[in-house]
A and B are shown apart, each in its own frame.
Chain A
């Protein structure tokens, strides 16, 4: 990922959020890290963000980035709690500048919170979609 990656910025925001970091610090981009996805009885909470689409909005030099968010936990209530904590970080969070100088004009939790279990490890998780309206250039200091 480049320094201006919206997914990297979203991961950094989740790691910095107190509501999420009290539950887990395992926030990943694209795929889980070794030690995240474990078998039954050893499940640990973690979050995976993956970019679904990022069409450019040429007239405004911005990009509307859709990100899929999967929040894994040891039980369905825990997964839902983790999802809600993550969604709250993004929902109508307003304009801000990420540490990478990526401009985030607005972000929304578009929907989700749907509960399911992973087909490989059977770990419960809640998934949803967030949208970030971001700059395509670095915001100067």
Chain B
């Protein structure tokens, strides 16, 4: 007879229990729920099974607080965007001792207008993606770099220079030594990431609705982190 007879017998057991009604299935019956075969419960944790408390938790409804996660992600994005802007501003000062960079150099609006092309150091841009979606406040027109992956669950910030000469200045050519300006700015900015991200997260989460204990916990954790930074 095989499976069908086993299933039928289990269904009969479930009907005898009578707690789940017509929808009761084999597993409900098999684990013995219902007044007819109530499981024996112990008062405390023991070697043979979990306590009442654990069984109670098992039945608790878990609410996924998406608002809290979105607020945290957008806060990270805000902080990284500000970090990127400062990084670009720092890099735009050019390399130390560079031949054609910095105040008083060729970088001026008049020369740019004559050439009809923006000066290289004026072409910096910043863009931030959350879960693959561009959330930059004033989204620049520059497209996503070809090789850049934007995986779900990650916040990605790109700070770059749109000029086609930028990588030649940064790395050099056969007739010109490297004049790195972006790598040093990046290395200077990187250690300060938390100073940008944590306050921005705090603002977003403070503005989010108090829906659950998760949000309260996040706010408390951020307040503690801010206090520690001060």
Give me the interface of A with B, judged by CB distance under 8 Å: 30-32, 36-37, 48, 50-53, 55, 64, 66, 68, 70, 72, 114, 116, 118-121, 123, 127, 129
Q: How far is the CB of A85 from chain B (nearest CB, A)?
A: 19
Q: Is B143 an interface residue (CB 8 A)?
A: no
Give Cα A118 to B176, complex, Å.
11
Stretch at the interface among B121-129, B163-171, B199-207: B163-171
Q: Is B84 an interface residue (CB 8 A)?
A: no
- Docked-complex contact A68 and B168, CB < 8 angstroms: no
Q: Is B175 an interface residue (CB 8 A)?
A: yes
Give Cα A72 to B184, complex, Å.
25
Q: Which of A37, A66, A72, A129 contacts B175 (CB 8 A)?
A: A37
Closest B residue to A123 by beta carbon equals: B174
- Docked-complex contact B174 and A32, CB < 8 angstroms: yes
- Cβ–Cβ < 8 Å partners of A116 in chain B: 167
Q: How far is the CB of B148 from chain A (nearest CB, A)?
A: 11
Q: How far is the CB of A18 from chain B (nearest CB, A)?
A: 26
Closest B residue to A38 by beta carbon equals: B174
Q: Is B209 an interface residue (CB 8 A)?
A: no
Interface of A is mostly: strand
- Cβ–Cβ < 8 Å partners of B167 in chain A: 114, 116, 127
- Cβ–Cβ < 8 Å partners of B173 in chain A: 118-120
Q: Which of B171, B174, B187, B188 contacts A68 (CB 8 A)?
A: B171
- Cβ–Cβ < 8 Å partners of A120 in chain B: 173-175
Contact sample, A vs B, 27 pairs, CB 8 Å cutoff? A30-B178, A31-B172, A31-B177, A32-B174, A48-B172, A48-B174, A50-B171, A50-B172, A50-B177, A50-B180, A52-B170, A52-B171, A52-B180, A52-B184, A53-B180, A53-B184, A55-B187, A68-B170, A68-B172, A68-B178, A68-B180, A70-B172, A119-B173, A120-B175, A121-B174, A123-B174, A129-B183
Give the residues from 58 to 85 in chain B that come closer than 8 angstroms, CB to CB, to chain A.
none
Give Cα A122 to B187, complex, Å.
31
- Docked-complex contact A52 and B178, CB < 8 angstroms: yes
Q: How far is the CB of A35 from chain B (nearest CB, A)?
A: 12
Q: How far is the CB of B113 from chain A (nearest CB, A)?
A: 24
Closest A residue to B186 by beta carbon equals: A53
Give Cα A51 to B188, complex, Å.
16
- Cβ–Cβ < 8 Å partners of B177 in chain A: 30-31, 50
- Docked-complex contact A119 and B187, CB < 8 angstroms: no
Give Cα A72 to B171, complex, Å.
13
Closest B residue to A129 by beta carbon equals: B183
Give Cα A64 to B172, complex, Å.
21
Closest A residue to B190 by beta carbon equals: A55
Q: How far is the CB of B4 from chain A (nearest CB, A)?
A: 58
- Cβ–Cβ < 8 Å partners of B171 in chain A: 50, 52, 68, 70, 127
- Cβ–Cβ < 8 Å partners of B178 in chain A: 30, 50-52, 68
- Docked-complex contact B183 and A53, CB < 8 angstroms: yes
Q: How far is the CB of B187 from chain A (nearest CB, A)?
A: 5
- Cβ–Cβ < 8 Å partners of A37 in chain B: 174-175
